[in-house]
Amino acid sequence: MKASYVVSMLSACCAITVACESYGDVLPAAGQQSAVVEKNPPGDIPDNQVFVQYQSPLGFSIKIPEGWARHETTDSVTFSDKYNTVAIAVSQRSPPPTLDDIKAREISQLRQSGTAVQVNAVKTVRLPSGSAFVVSYASNSVPNAVTNKSIRLENDRYFFWKEGRLATLTLSAPSGADNADQWLLMARSFGWR
C-alpha cells in the first residue's frame, strides 16, 4: 500500500507546464546547470497511442493523446502525462512574426526562463495549416514536488500565426524519448478554426 501511494504521488506531481539554422553547442546561461539525462527516459509516447481531436474555445483544433490530463486557462491549454507535455497558448500579435523576430524575441525569452535552455535549431516548416516556425531546444523540467529532482527535456516550440493571432505549441518530453512521429502528428494536425 505504501509503495503504491508513493508511486501515485510521484505520478501526480510530475505534470509540467511548459512553454533550420543550427546554433551549435550553445551553453546554458551562466549559473544554470543542465539536469542529467535519464538512462531509461520515462517519456516515450507508445506507437499505438490513440489521438483525439481537441476543439479549443481559443479558435484552434489539434490532435492530442487520449487520456492525458488537461488544464485550461483563459489563453492556454496544457495536456500532460508524467513528464510529457503539450501546451498551446494563444495571444494577439501583429504584424506576423518573422524568422528573425523568432530568433531575437522568442529565444531571448526562452533563455531568461532559468531552466538551462540550450537552443539547437530554429527553422521555418511547411505544415497543412501553412508555414510555421519551430525552435528545437533542451531545458530542465520543473523540479518534482516530492524529490526536488529535475530531468532534462527535449522541446519543440511551434509558432502559428493567422489574422493577428499567434498560437505557440510547445511539445516537451524527457531527453532520449522517441516521440518524433507523435510530435509531427500533433504539429501537422494543428489548425485554426
Chain segment 18-38, per-residue pLDDT in tens: 333 444 444 455 556 777 665
**Rounded-to-integer distance, Cα 34 and Cα 118, Å:** 9
Query: How would you list the strands of the sheet with 51-55, edge to edge?
Result: 51-55, 60-65, 191-192
Q: What mean pLDDT is reported for the chain?
A: 85
Give the CATH superfamily of 2-192: Mog1/PsbP, alpha/beta/alpha sandwich (3.40.1000.10)
Backbone angles phi, psi at 11, to 5 degrees: -60, -40
Say which amino acid occupies 79: F
* Residue spans of beta strands (DSSP E) within 66-164: 69-72, 76-81, 84-92, 118-127, 130-140, 152-162
Q: Which of 40-44, 46-50, 130-134 is least confident?
A: 40-44
Q: Indicate the burial class of 49 (C-beta count within 10 angstroms; 0-12, 13-18, 19 or more).
A: middle
Is the full-model pTM beyond 0.85?
no
Percent of the chain with pLDDT over 90: 71
pLDDT surpasses 90 at 169: yes
Q: Which of 21-35, 116-130, 154-168 is least confident?
A: 21-35
CB 107 within 8 Å of CB 115: no
pLDDT band with cut points at 50, 70 and 90 for residue 6 = very low
pLDDT surpasses 90 at 70: yes
Please report the pLDDT score of residue 12 as a whole number: 38
